[in-house]
Amino acid sequence: MGKYFGKKLIIYIITFFIAVTINWLAPRFIPGDPVTSLLAQYQGPAAGRQMLETRLRTLFGLEGSLIQQYINFWANLLRGDLGRSILQFPREVSEIVKNNIIYDIAVLLPAISLSWIVGNKIGAMAGENEKIDRYIMPLFYGFVSSPYFWFAIIVVFVFAHSLGWFPTARAYGAGVRPAFTLNFIIVFLRHWFLPFFTMFLVGLGQWSIGMRNMVIYEIESNYANYLRSLGARQKLIRNYAFRNGVLPQVTGLAIQLGQIVSGAITVQVVFDYPGLGRLMYQAVQQQDFFVLQGAFLSLILMVLAANFLIDIIYMFIDPRIRLSYSEEE
């Protein structure tokens, strides 16, 4: 088991290292220079610009040779210092990232986990019940066939604009301040629901389609036929099929996680809802390279951490891994 663990860990460390390096390199490859473009708005005298520029370069850690900057970047990173935002100067990137992660946890975590659980259930049902398969699955195919943003736009149009049940955008409305009051919680939930709902529906389609195929494989497999010939009850076979079918779904979750989180960017943009993905997208638009770095890195860290967690869970629920690695030891 330790070996499995160790191997995974090495992969994670390498991934992290590559991510950090790419992350550091990217802003330095762009044509143009962040400080210069920031100062394009400055209308004052040349001497004042010079002074501003020197000051900003120091504050942004852009002076020194590239290697030195790279080492500094790592040193700061390990201290949890992601630098300062250019556009929201002098705010710290780590603070900005933290403000956004909260919303990712609020929306993505429940949307992904619930859609996974419910999707697997419905998928398993569809796998053995032809009627469900015939009527519900095409609908789910429809969900996964729509680009996230288009789906989100239609959800906004129907539930927010036409029916007026929910607000069209943002995390909470005007005239409301974050506070632990009933009023704020209601406002927050009303704004939270549609982004959550969109992510949930899209995920639901995805997972139930996956599970449906898995369960059909399992139910038609040799061991299931064997069980059936032994006279086992359908329920027992169904249970086995579900348990075996879920395993690839767990791996699937690990693989898809990064894609789901990134797909959420367009949904966040449609709802003008905060989140790491949207933060990153805004940073690109506004050429705020330090926020871009911080958000990208945090996004990858988040995905890696979730993957790691799934790996551990997988280890416990898949007997094969447990056995194969403990035998070797």
Partner 1 sequence: MAEEKTGNPEQYTSQGILKTVFSRLKRNENLYLAFTNPKVVFGISLFSAVLLFALLGPYFTEYGINEFAGIGSPASRAAPSGEHPFGLTMQGYDVFTRTVHGLRATILVGFVGGLIASFIGLIIGLIAGYRGGMVDEFLMGLTNVFLTFPQLPILIVVAAYLPYRGIIHMAVLVGLVIWPWTARAVRSQTMSLKNEEHVALSRISANSTPRILIEDIAANMFSYIFMVFILQYMGTIMATVGLEFLGLGPTRGVSLGLVMQHAVQSGALYLGYWWWGILPGLFLMLMIFSLYFLNTGMDEVFNPELREL
Partner 2 sequence: MKSHWKTWLIVMLAVVFTMTFAFTVRADRADTLVTTGAIWAPPSNWNPLYFAPEPGTVGLAYEPLFHYNAIEGEYIPWLAAEEGAWIEDDVFHVELRAEPEWHDGQTLTAQDVVFTFELAEEYNLEYTYLWNYLEEVTALNDREVEFHFDTPNYQEWKQVLYEIPIIPEHIFSEIPEEDLQTISDLSEFAGQEVVGSGPYTYDDATPDRMIWQRVDNWWGNEVHGEPAPRFIEILVTDANHIVLGMVLQEQIDLSNNFLPGTPSIAENPGYNITTYYDGPPYHVPDNTAMLFFNTQEKGLDDADFRRAVSFAINPEEIVERAYEHTVEKADPTGLFGGWLDYRSEDAVDEYGFEYDPDTAVTKLEEAGYTDTTGDGWRNHPDGDDLSYQIEVPAGWSDWEDSVRIIAEQLRDIGLNVEPNFVDFSIYEDNMLTANFDMLINNFTTGKSGTPYTYWDGVASDQIYDEQATQGNYGRYENEELFEYIDLFNRMPDGEAAAYRVAEDIQEILLQDMPSVPLWYNGAWAVMSEVYWTNWPTEHNPTGFPLSWGGDWQLGTVQMLLELEPIE
For residues 280 and 196, give the distance between their C-alpha atoms in angstroms, rounded to a whole number.
Answer: 20
User: Pick from partner 1, partner 2, none: which does 177 bind, CB < 5 to 8 A by kind?
Assistant: partner 2
For residues 267 and 271, give the distance between their C-alpha atoms in angstroms, rounded to a whole number.
Answer: 6
User: Pick from partner 1, partner 2, none: which does 298 bind, CB < 5 to 8 A by kind?
Assistant: none
For residues 309 and 206, give the distance between their C-alpha atoms in angstroms, rounded to a whole number.
Answer: 21
272 binds partner 1 (CB under 8 A): no
Binding footprint of partner 2 on the chain (CB under 8 A): 31-32, 37, 39-45, 47-48, 51-52, 55-56, 59, 85, 87-91, 96, 99-100, 114, 117-118, 156, 160-161, 164-171, 173-178, 183, 185-187, 189-190, 193, 269-270, 272, 274, 278, 282, 285-288
82 binds partner 1 (CB under 8 A): no
Sites for partner 1 among residues 100-159 (CB under 8 A): 141-142, 144-150, 153-154, 157
Q: Going by C-beta distance under 8 Å and a sequence separation of 6 or more, which residues neighbour residue 117?
A: none
255 binds partner 1 (CB under 8 A): yes
Q: Of 18, 35, 34, 28, which is closest to residue 67 (Cα–Cα)?
A: 28
For residues 317 and 321, give the distance between their C-alpha atoms in angstroms, rounded to a whole number.
Answer: 9
User: Pick from partner 2, partner 1, none: which does 105 bind, CB < 5 to 8 A by kind?
Assistant: none
**Torsion of Cα atoms, 219 then 132 then 260 then 148, to 10°:** 150
80 versus 175: smaller Cβ distance to partner 2: 175
**Torsion of Cα atoms, 305 then 311 then 317 then 320, to 10°:** -170
For residues 307 and 255, give the distance between their C-alpha atoms in angstroms, rounded to a whole number.
Answer: 8
- Give the x-and-dash track for 3-42 against partner 1 (CB under 8 A): --------x--xx--xx------x--xxx-----------
Per-residue buried b or exposed e for 109-123, using 16+ beta carbons within 10 Å of the residue's own CB: eebbeebbeebbebb
Q: How many residues does the chain have?
A: 329
Q: Which of 111, 155, 280, 291 contacts partner 1 by CB under 8 A? A: 280
Give me the residues that bind partner 1 (CB under 8 A), please: 11, 14-15, 18-19, 26, 29-31, 141-142, 144-150, 153-154, 157, 161, 209, 213, 216-217, 220-221, 255, 257-259, 261-263, 265-266, 269-270, 277, 280-281, 284-285, 292, 296, 299-300, 303-304, 307
